[in-house]
A and B are shown apart, each in its own frame.
Chain A
Amino acid sequence: MKVRILIVFSLIFIFGGLLLIKAFYLQVIDAPQLRKMADVQFHTKIYFTPKRGNIYSANGGLLATSINEDGIAIDPLMIKHKYKVSKELSQLLNIKLEKVISKLNLNLQFTWLKKKVSSKTADKIENLGIDGISIVKQPVRYYPDGDILAHVLGFVGINDNGLSGIEYKYNKILKGNEKALQIMHDGLGQDIFIRGFGLEKETHGDNIYLTINKKLQYITEHYLDKEAKAADSRGAFAIIMNPNTGAILAMADYPAFNPNYYWKYKPRYWRNRAVTDDFEPGSTMKPFIISGAMQDGVIKPTTIVNGHHGAYYIDGITVHDVGTSFGHMNINQLIEYSCNVCACQVGMKLGKERLYYWLKRWGFLSKPHAGLLGESSGIDRPVSKWSHVGSCEEAFGQGAAITGLQEITALSAIANGGFLMKPYIIKKIVNPYGKVLFISKPKVIRRVINSKTDREMKYMMRLVVKGGTGQYCKLIDYKVSGKTGTGQIADPKTGKYYKNLYTASFMAFVPYKHPKLAMLVVQEKPLKISYYGGAVSAPVVREVFKRALNILNIFPGNKAYKKQVHIMSLNNLPIAANSVKNNINKKIHKIGIMPNLHGDTILSAIKDLVEYDKNITIKGTGFLYYQNIKPGTKIKKNQVILLKFKPLL
């Protein structure tokens, strides 16, 4: 018995001791090595594909975004039973069988079969379990609005790199960075627990908000496209700026392209002409030079200049006026009717040095740095190389080649009281967690002209639209100021001007006294309708202003009420169907006596009280249900008239 017990205990001790020794080896001596092996087996790194940041409009409308799409990649050398596999893939991917076969027979280790497939199709292909076929997720850039703002946004190529526009210029900010995250998985390869939730966001690129107003952008593109097509222009662009801040609200180019399929267009379609192309502006240059001359005291608005009836001979060249010829006129009329002969004389009087000074002062010949790709600084010869009539030509817009962005910035300075603002297109940059990293603030570069000169120039430009060369831009409700321009185009080979090819431009701001919008439209080589800026470009500005002012809720001013009512009564436009019945029964009211306005629309109520428009307070919309003064009572002077409206339900 004792012996048996002894044997059992000895065995227990021996095995126990062996176990302890093994445990000691595993836990202490081999531990570091084993831990490493386990780490390899149970821990693995996963890499997040960096998500490119989005681009938004000023109001947060999505302009560009990225999404990871499944793509089918193949290793042709690994695939067996090629014909059978080709047949299956051809059916699932809806690709011609011959095409799949040719791809599968390539002598390569990697090639794309289809770059974008639905996740359902990807699952089906994965379930086939064929060696040599893999599902690869890759980022795809989307521009939901298609061709809207395409020239500014640019596009993204393979490897998620921007190739043009904002996408290229801000590639580093948008692209994000690759980050690895360590996870654990079990023996079957299933992920167990992922630490660091939200880490994925760290790989995301930052989001960029532009100053662009999507609605304004659309209407600008729409009417530019319409007019440029009708005029058969080779190219065209339009820019809208907030003259008080320098923010670019819209920037359109013609012809358009769709960045979702950029490769289908020739590279000339991708260019953002508004910032890259230099052009000789023609007469739209006059307001800038004339303002300079007035600021220098060389001329006054009342100074009389001789128009020489449209042809002025000066030192070997003859300056012509296009279309019309003028006799003597003052500076106001010079701008109003765009007299080249007169501008030439002002230029000569101002002198080369001062004229060049003023060109630079307005921001021409230097880069605007608005944050756009390919901004040109414009071209002009140094003053020393100007001919003796250089300042004559420069005064009506020949010689200096400028960009649209420079011109709209200078125009904004006239509109805002003489302050040259720094133009900008980036409103803010926000990181994936919502933190604002950068925000633009309006910046004054310098004051170009004083308020007196500015007021005088604004008035001159008002005359252009009121009765001068820019009448196609006249609006009923708002006062527009503008300037037309028809610039000659130089043949790059000979350096001489083409006889019948022009740049037709029009620039304007609105409302005249306190401008909220400045706009420039330039059309290159219009061949049909007309080549005058006032005829082909002014209508674009008019159509866009008309709608943009409503979109932005810009109040036309008190006088507009009366004007609107007057026009409506002239046109006999229907005021509101529901109020017709009411109007029939209503007695024609006497002036000074409160009429019965129940059931009237706002417009018809104002029509009846047009003499008191300043005293009227309106609440609500729809049809009148309350008036504070009883019908038939006398309306006292300066008495507040409260009218309440509600919709008919």
Chain B
Amino acid sequence: MIFIISLTGIFYVWTNMESMKLGYEISKLETIKAKLVHKNKKLLIVKASLASPSRIYKIAKKLGFVYPKEGEVVMIHE
């Protein structure tokens, strides 16, 4: 009987300890996640700035690209 009670007690303490450990781990991961999410947001802003039509237009102009003249574009019926 005493054996069973002490075993249950040990199990209870062990689960509590494990849950605490996991709690710490989750907290750490949450912090890492928050940092990554922040980084991701910053990168999205950079991406949006790089994809800005005004920037693309400037680069295209530098590379010598021009809009097709009238009559040079043919629309095709699908």
Chain A positions near chain B (C-beta within 8 angstroms) = 61-62, 65, 67-68, 119, 142, 144-146, 148, 184, 190-194, 214-215, 218-219, 222, 475-477, 546-547, 550, 553-556, 560-561, 563-564, 567-568, 571, 573, 602-603, 606, 618, 621
**Cβ-Cβ contact count across A and B, 8 Å cutoff:** 93
- Taking a contact as CB atoms under 8 Å apart, the answer to whether B24 and A222 are in contact is no
List, in ascending order, chain A residues with CB within 8 A of B30's CB: 191, 194
- Taking a contact as CB atoms under 8 Å apart, the answer to whether A193 and B27 are in contact is yes
A119 vs B37: C-alpha distance when bound (angstroms) = 13
Other-chain residue from A144, A218, A546, A561 in contact with B74 (beta carbon distance below 8 A):
A561
- Taking a contact as CB atoms under 8 Å apart, the answer to whether B41 and A606 are in contact is no
Other-chain residue from A67, A148, A194, A554 in contact with B42 (beta carbon distance below 8 A):
A67
- Taking a contact as CB atoms under 8 Å apart, the answer to whether A564 and B74 are in contact is yes
List, in ascending order, chain B residues with CB within 8 A of A554's CB: 75
A193 vs B49: C-alpha distance when bound (angstroms) = 37
- Taking a contact as CB atoms under 8 Å apart, the answer to whether B54 and A218 are in contact is yes
- Taking a contact as CB atoms under 8 Å apart, the answer to whether A218 and B24 are in contact is no
A193 vs B69: C-alpha distance when bound (angstroms) = 63
Other-chain residue from A119, A219, A477 in contact with B70 (beta carbon distance below 8 A):
A477
Chain B positions near chain A (C-beta within 8 angstroms) = 19-20, 22-24, 26-27, 30, 35, 38, 41-42, 44-45, 48-49, 51-54, 57, 67-77
A607 vs B22: C-alpha distance when bound (angstroms) = 72
Contacts A67-B45, A192-B20 aside, 10 further interface pairs with beta carbons under 8 A come to: A62-B44, A192-B23, A218-B57, A222-B54, A475-B70, A555-B77, A561-B74, A568-B71, A603-B74, A618-B76
Q: Smallest CB–CB gap between B61 and chain A, Å?
A: 11
Q: Smallest CB–CB gap between A257 and chain B, Å?
A: 14
Q: From A183, which residue of chain B is reached at the shortest CB distance? A: B27
Other-chain residue from A190, A192, A553, A573 in contact with B72 (beta carbon distance below 8 A):
A573
Other-chain residue from A146, A475, A547, A555 in contact with B52 (beta carbon distance below 8 A):
A146
- Taking a contact as CB atoms under 8 Å apart, the answer to whether B24 and A190 are in contact is yes
Q: A193-B23, A194-B26 are contacts. A602–B70 as well, Cβ < 8 Å?
A: no
Other-chain residue from A68, A184, A218 in contact with B38 (beta carbon distance below 8 A):
A68
Q: A190-B24, A618-B76 are contacts. A146–B54 as well, Cβ < 8 Å?
A: yes
List, in ascending order, chain B residues with CB within 8 A of A603's CB: 74
List, in ascending order, chain B residues with CB within 8 A of A550's CB: 68, 73
A215 vs B68: C-alpha distance when bound (angstroms) = 16
Q: Smallest CB–CB gap between B35 and chain A, Å?
A: 8
- Taking a contact as CB atoms under 8 Å apart, the answer to whether A192 and B27 are in contact is yes
- Taking a contact as CB atoms under 8 Å apart, the answer to whether B74 and A602 are in contact is yes
Q: A550-B73, A568-B71, A571-B71 are contacts. A142–B45 as well, Cβ < 8 Å?
A: yes
Q: From A616, which residue of chain B is reached at the shortest CB distance? A: B77
- Taking a contact as CB atoms under 8 Å apart, the answer to whether B41 and A65 are in contact is yes
Q: From A556, which residue of chain B is reached at the shortest CB distance? A: B75
List, in ascending order, chain A residues with CB within 8 A of B19's CB: 193
